[in-house]
Structure 1
């Protein structure tokens, strides 16, 4: 393990004013996105869509890295350049989603564990040869009646740490993503409690499995009210609760935290990140690793045929989040655009 190289890559991933574009939707997930704009889910359409995103002029000012789906890592841009090469030429680090998705957890109704450890060591060698310099693995924690169980939290924490250790062995920076879902009717207090339990378990496992904290990036949820909760916590409360939780459980040795958007509106995801950065100084860099919150406007504007309109929308959201990562965003900038 080259500790220096892992640390340098992790620091570059959370460079000031830059964040990570999550463009790693599985074929099934992107089908849902394409359905919303009446586009058929073919490989050619997936290639054209990702090409539109990655050839957006200037997005590299606000984007440090892109998480790719396995298909995309081995695809070429419309001009024939392999996607990892196209990104690297812009100073954007190519990454790869390596998990095989959340599957039902035996003996735990309503809970899941993420699979994909089998054969991962060999796959990582192949991904690195193709240009990937970081990877992502998502553990899913569901809030519900009597859940999450400690069993579910610890099983996912253990898998996240095993994945992270294998990545570092291969010279790849792991993005460790424990996501507490925001889909239920729980209060923000319940989300905070579950996020505390989850992060505590994750860092205990990372320690046991000798993961180099300086060579990883954490991708957590924000502490937020469940979508169906009748009382929605305001932005200031979300920012304060999220920082309180992170300060309790995330060691300062971790170079950075790149949040997932998790179903928040585009503007909420930006505003929450901005508020947290305004509450600094903080022990780690705080930035974004958004999927839908960076892409929804671009997808709609693209519509399968208008790449230029898609690029304009993509650049705007990347710019807004780049400002939020510096604590320099303002809602007036959205209206001006």
Structure 2
């Protein structure tokens, strides 16, 4: 584990940019960027286009380590280059931004009120390649739709089981059981989930390091006690369907939690913008998310 990167993520001011749209979510990301499906006919063409979009974001002067602590990448992005450097090396060596990797392979069908992660084949090999690419940590997402104690218990068990494999490989896991913000019993789900977190944290070694990526809570500062656990490096928040302004407003009320926004970060960016327009739009988003993250 890179100690300089750990210190930056643990105590630095800023937020984590989520640039990890995978195969299933890439077409929507490209549509939002102004690129329709008729612009590509193969997965390779699609991934080329989304890498061009991400490269434009990462090379922008607005994508600055003064405001951005880390960036989460998709596996395909990790294997590609920016200016003759692998993406993770470009981020850290040129920008001073800590690289993370999304490792999950999507969601299973809804069962017992939750969507577990699909199996992650060849995880050991993926983690080995992540280390070779000097990735600092990983992210994996599952989803909670209902306050079903059985389902939530399974979600958290699965997350921690994989997190242990990731820690054993020398990486820091971001545990992400997203709670649907439209769930009518969201607050109840949060209480069940947090109890499960503490149960599993207590079973880890004292020097273990994990992060959480969570939906913005129904009750302000609900995760304050979780932040105080010495094994928790940081808690980051996903925007989860809120507009950027809404997400920033809620985030600013939750002390100690920082953003890890995807759609809310890239909101308003378009392939047809001039570099000046693009950079100004991104800068506005970065500054707003940064301000909400340091309150």
The two structures share one fold, judged by TM-score above 0.5: yes
Asked if 1:12 is matched to 2:36, the reply is no
Name the TM-score, length of structure 2 as normaliser.
Answer: 0.87
TM-score in terms of structure 1 length:
0.77
Taking the aligned partners of 1:171 and 1:294, their CA distance within structure 2 comes to 29
Q: 1:49 to 1:69 in 2, by over 3 A?
A: same
| Separation of aligned partners in 2, 1:14 and 1:261 | 21
C-alpha deviation, 1:265, in angstroms: 0.8
Task: Give the CA deviation at 1:81.
Answer: 2.6
Cα distance, 1:95–1:211 mapped onto 2, change above 3 Å: farther
1:28 and 2:51 correspond = no
Judging changes above 3 Å, is the alpha-carbon distance between structure 1 residues 296 and 260 closer, same or farther for their aligned structure 2 residues?
Answer: same
Asked if 1 retains the 8 angstrom alpha-carbon contact of 2:216 and 2:251, the reply is no
> 1:117: Cα distance to partner?
4.1
Distance in 1 of aligned mates of 2:224 and 2:188: 14
Change in Cα spacing, 1:168 to 1:212, as seen in structure 2 (3 Å) is farther
Specify whether residues 203 and 120 from structure 1 end up closer, same or farther in structure 2 by C-alpha distance, changes over 3 A only. farther
User: What is the distance in 1 between the residues matched to 2:92 and 2:285?
Assistant: 21
Q: Indicate the residue corresponding to 1:173 in structure 2.
A: 172
Equivalent-residue separation in structure 1 for 2:188 and 2:105 (angstroms): 28
Cα pair distance change 1:288/1:275, threshold 3 Å: same
**Counterpart in 1 of 2:240?**
262
Alpha-carbon distance in structure 1 between the residues aligned to 2:207 and 2:21:
27
The SS at the match of 1:297 is: coil
Q: Is the 8 A contact 1:260 1:289 kept in 2?
A: yes
In structure 1, stretches of 5+ residues that fail to align are: 225-240, 278-284, 328-337
Does the aligned pair in 1 maintain the 2:108–2:117 contact within 8 Å?
A: yes
**Alpha-carbon distance in structure 2 between the residues aligned to 1:206 and 1:96:** 22
Q: 1:247 aligns with which of 214, 220, 224?
A: 224
Q: Residue by residue, what CA displacement relative to the aligned partner does 1:172-196 show, whole Å, maximum 9, x if unpaired?
A: 1111112111134x2xxx3221111
2: CA distance between counterparts of 1:45 and 1:286?
A: 32
| 3-state SS of 2:242 partner | coil
> CA distance change for structure 1 residues 109 and 200 in 2, over 3 Å: closer, same or farther?
closer
Distance in 2 of aligned mates of 1:61 and 1:17? 8
Rounded Cα–Cα distance in structure 2 between residues aligned with 1:116 and 1:318: 34
1:67 is aligned to 2:72: yes
Q: Counterparts in 2 of 1:29-108, with a 5 A limit?
A: 29-36=25-32, 37-39=34-36, 40=39, 42-58=46-62, 59-77=64-82, 79-89=83-93, 90-104=95-109, 108=111
Pick from 295, 307, 318: which aligns with 2:286?
Answer: 318
CA contact (8 A) 1:192 1:242 kept: no
In the superposition, relative to structure 1, how do residues 49 and 308 fare at CA in structure 2: closer, same or farther (>3 Å)? farther
Match of 2:217 among 223, 226, 246: 223
Q: CA deviation at 1:97?
A: 0.2
Once the two structures are TM-superposed, the CA of residue 35 in structure 1 deviates from its matched residue by: 2.3
CA contact (8 A) 1:11 1:256 kept: no
Cα distance change, pair 70–212 in 1 and its aligned pair in 2 (3 A): farther
Q: CA deviation at 1:200?
A: 1.4
1:197 paired residue number:
192
Q: CA RMSD in A?
A: 2.2
- 2:113 maps to 1:119: no
Distance 2:200 2:13 in 1: 30
Partner of 2:43: none
Partner in structure 2 of residue 140 of structure 1: 143
Note the C-alpha offset of 1:121. 2.3
Per-residue deviation, 1:317: 1.2
Flag structure 2 segments of 5+ consecutive residues without an equivalent.
41-45
C-alpha displacement at 1:252, in angstroms?
3.0
Shift of 1:221: 0.8
